[in-house]
A and B are shown apart, each in its own frame.
Chain A
Amino acid sequence: MTGSGADLTARTLAPGDGTGDVLRLDTPVSFWGGVDETGTIVDVHHPQCGERLTGKVVVMASGRGSSSSTAVLAEQIRAGTGPAALVLSECDTILVIGALVATELYGVRMPIVEVSPTDLIDLIELDRREPGPLRVTADPDTLHATLTREGRR
């Protein structure tokens, strides 16, 4: 993950383009019941309770919990409090549909991409060594997605 151009390739789960600082979630979070309308984690069982997802490239293995997470994610995207992008290592249709509906209704395209479990670990390790914004682009037709480091802060 060095040099210019794409640092990592991924698969498009929901098309879009988003940039933000990386927020790694050690355990998956349920958007419904776990994240409030301001984008803040409120699940008291979650080790990162109190962290805010808004504008972040949220990296987590998978989604978790309630099937109402879809509506909560779509509402956050509508209200502008959603993440900039989601990077998962396993497809979560509950979250994908939330992003697709936000595109249908409001024309906002928040990308969700899938990377391999080893790439997920590499991404987390790179960000730990050199924190900085990450751009996620996810193409709707080829389903090809890229994760690219933006300039150092």
Chain B
Amino acid sequence: MGTTQSLLALTADEQSMLDGDRGPAVAMAMRLVTGVARANGAVRLLPIESVHVDGCLYHGRAGLDFAERLVELGGRVAVRTTLNVGSLDLLHPGLVRAGDGLASAGRRLMDAYVALGCESTWSCAPYQLSHRPATGTHVAWAESNAIAFVNSVLGARTDRYGDFLDIAAALTGRVPDAGLHQDHARRAELVLDCSDLPHPLLAEDTAWAALGALLGEVAGTRVAALVGLPGDLGDDGTTEDRLKALGATAASAGGVALFHVVGVTPEAPDLQSVADPGCPVHVVSTADLRTARDRLSTATGDRLDAVSLGTPHFSVTEFAELARVIGSGSAFSDEVDVYVSTSRAVLAEATRLGHLAPIEAAGARIVTDTCTYVTPVLAPGTKTVMTNSGKWAWYAPANLGVDTVLGTLAECVASARAGKVVRDDRLWS
């Protein structure tokens, strides 16, 4: 265990925050930041450029008590701060089937974070359009998919922050110098060799969700490097969407906060840049991927009540693809509710580009500011839900008590039209 004494040294400025010179909210926030710094053995704090806050989703009274206490104490963010999803869709009132209690407490919580100076982005994917930190900058992000994305795909540096420490970092502009802020912690401890996976299979969106589930199960909380995968972050957004699905599922199924895709993500131009020689290699087969995919489907049979897309929030590219898949074909079955969750910013851009018209004409309902697996949106009696999201499929059985079917975007559309589950497994054999 080594020494147990804290070696944390504060600058004069940081000590004055702790002493209350900038008010009681900053002092309380600094007690939390230094408390965590002592726990993880940090010797100093780091200034950060921005924060993404996850604490605005209602999980019970403790979260509301905390946010309202900071407001009462006069708290105000010191750096740019965006907000994750809340419990309500403020643009589509009535869509969330919240009882009076959740509606009121959820709204109070969202209002408290805005009162602290946070931006009303209400998205788990702020990296789409709204908030894209530069490679190498230190930030404090919460929400596990956003953490994985900002670290891996954008190459900015955040540790795994959660509710409370996110806003504490925003009020103080500081985080512990620990974890994934440090060079050595960002190196891969294992390699996933994906070169055996056929490229037609990797053109399926569910392949990336399945790979994320496999990564989470194999890596746990460790950093992995993936080799043998196609992709170019300079393309039209397809690679970002795939890596979003990969990271979100890996963060759910394991505790993955950073992964490197060699030749694709910014810190991994080659394997040597992120992994030492002799790093253990795990070869991924099509059969492994299929097993991982099958674990994300709990339903048997072809019954279907709803389709949920957009976890993490749908991107402009995904709206374009959904519009293309729907085309001028028939509307969705009356028996199947189709939901697409996204952010206000992406919805505005996708609408401007004309992608929403065919999607809404087919019968899809757009959900903003929140998400279908964290708050009651699905109709009572919904039993089986299809999704192309590995994260949604991972959490929905426990969160919502529904059975899930993981399918591609095209399979989700075909199933919504047919009123039953339609999947084509040829590429997976």
A residues with a Cβ closer than 8 A to B are 9-14, 28, 32-34, 37, 42-45, 62-72, 74-75, 77-79, 90-91, 93-94, 96-98, 100-102, 104-106, 112, 114-116, 142-145
B60 touches A33 (CB 8 A): no
Task: Give A102 to B69 CA distance when docked, in angstroms.
Answer: 13
Decide if B395 touches A33 in the complex (CB within 8 Å): yes
Known contacts A43-B398, A97-B36, A104-B32: does B147 contact A67 (CB below 8 Å)?
yes
Contact of B54 with A93 in the complex, beta carbons under 8 Å: no
A68/B57 in contact, CB under 8 A? yes
Can you list 11 A-B pairs with a CB-CB distance of less than 8 A? Answer: A11-B1, A33-B398, A33-B399, A64-B220, A69-B162, A74-B66, A75-B63, A93-B40, A97-B32, A97-B163, A142-B5
Name which residue of chain A comes closest to B166, CB basis.
A67
Query: Counting CB contacts under 8 A, is B75 at the interface?
Result: no
| B80 interfacial by beta-carbon distance below 8 Å | no
Q: Which of B47-65 contact A (CB under 8 A)?
A: 54-55, 57, 59-63, 65
Instruction: Tally chain B residues at the interface, Cβ within 8 Å.
Output: 53
A37 to B63, CA, bound (A): 14
Q: B89 at interface (Cβ–Cβ under 8 A)?
A: no
In the bound complex, how far is the Cα of B249 from the Cα of A45, in angstroms? 14
* Residue in A12, A65, A67, A91 with the greatest tally of chain B CB atoms within 10 Å: A67
Task: Report which of A62, A97, A143 forms a contact with B38, defined as CB distance below 8 A.
Answer: A143
A44 touches B398 (CB 8 A): yes
Residue ID in chain A nearest B146 by CB atoms: A67
Q: Which of A12, A28, A90, A94 has the most CB of B within 10 A?
A: A94
Q: Are A67 and B252 in contact (CB under 8 A)?
A: no
Whether the Cβ atoms of B39 and A93 lie closer than 8 Å is yes
Q: Does B155 touch A at the CB level, under 8 Å? A: no
- In the assembled complex, which residues on chain B have CB atoms less than 8 Å from the CB atom of A43? 398
- CB-CB under 8 A for A71 and B63, given A11-B1, A94-B160, A143-B4: yes
Chain A, Cβ-Cβ closest to B35: A100
Nearest Cβ on chain B to A44's Cβ, whole angstroms: 5
List A contacts of B165 (CB < 8 A): 70, 93, 97
Q: How far is the CB of B163 from chain A (nearest CB, A)?
A: 4
A72-B60, A142-B5 are known contacts. Are A93 and B160 too (CB-CB below 8 A)? Answer: yes
Given contacts A77-B62, A78-B61, contact A71 B55 (CB under 8 A): yes
| Residues of chain A with a CB closer than 8 A to B162's CB | 67-71, 93-94, 97-98
Q: Is the CB of B66 within 8 A of A101?
A: yes
**Alpha-carbon distance between A115 and B168 when the two chains are bound, in angstroms:** 27
B159 at interface by CB-CB < 8 Å: yes
- Residues of B contacting A144 with CB < 8 Å? 4
In chain B, positions 153-169 with a C-beta closer than 8 Å to chain A are 159-166, 168
Q: Judging by beta carbons under 8 Å apart, are B255 and A28 in contact? A: yes
Which chain B residue shows the least CB distance to A75? B60
The answer to whether A78 touches B66, judged by C-beta atoms less than 8 angstroms apart, is no
Contact, CB under 8 Å: B69 / A105: yes
Closest to B6 in A: A143
Lowest 6 CB-CB distances: which A-B pairs, in order?
A75-B60, A70-B162, A67-B162, A74-B62, A71-B59, A94-B162
How many Å lie between the Cα of A104 and that of B59 in the bound state? 18
Kindly provide the distance from the CB of B273 to the nearest chain A CB, expressed in whole angstroms.
26
A71 touching B252, Cβ below 8 Å: no
Once A96-B35, A104-B32, A143-B38 are accepted as A-B contacts, the answer to whether A67 and B59 lie under 8 Å apart by CB is no
Q: How far is the CB of B425 from chain A (nearest CB, A)?
A: 23
> B221 touching A62 by the CB < 8 A rule?
yes
Q: Which residues of B contact A97 (CB under 8 A)?
A: 32, 35-36, 162-165, 168
A64-B5 contact, Cβ under 8 Å, with A33-B399, A74-B164: no
Q: Are B60 and A37 in contact (CB under 8 A)?
A: yes
- A10-B1 CB under 8 A given contacts A65-B252, A67-B162, A96-B35: yes
Interface contact B142-A67, CB-CB below 8 Å = yes
B152 near A: Cβ within 8 Å? Answer: no
CA distance A65 to B394 in the complex (A): 11
Output the least CB separation between B30 and chain A (Å): 12
Give Cα distance in the complex from A42 to B397, angstroms. 9
Report B243-275 CB contacts with A as 1/0, cut-off 8 Å: 000000001111100000000000000000000
Partner of B255, one of A12, A65, A116: A65
Contacts of A11 in B (CB 8 A): 1, 4
Distance between B413 CB and nearest chain A CB, rounded to angstroms: 27
B41 located at the interface, meaning its Cβ lies under 8 Å from any Cβ of chain A in the complex: yes
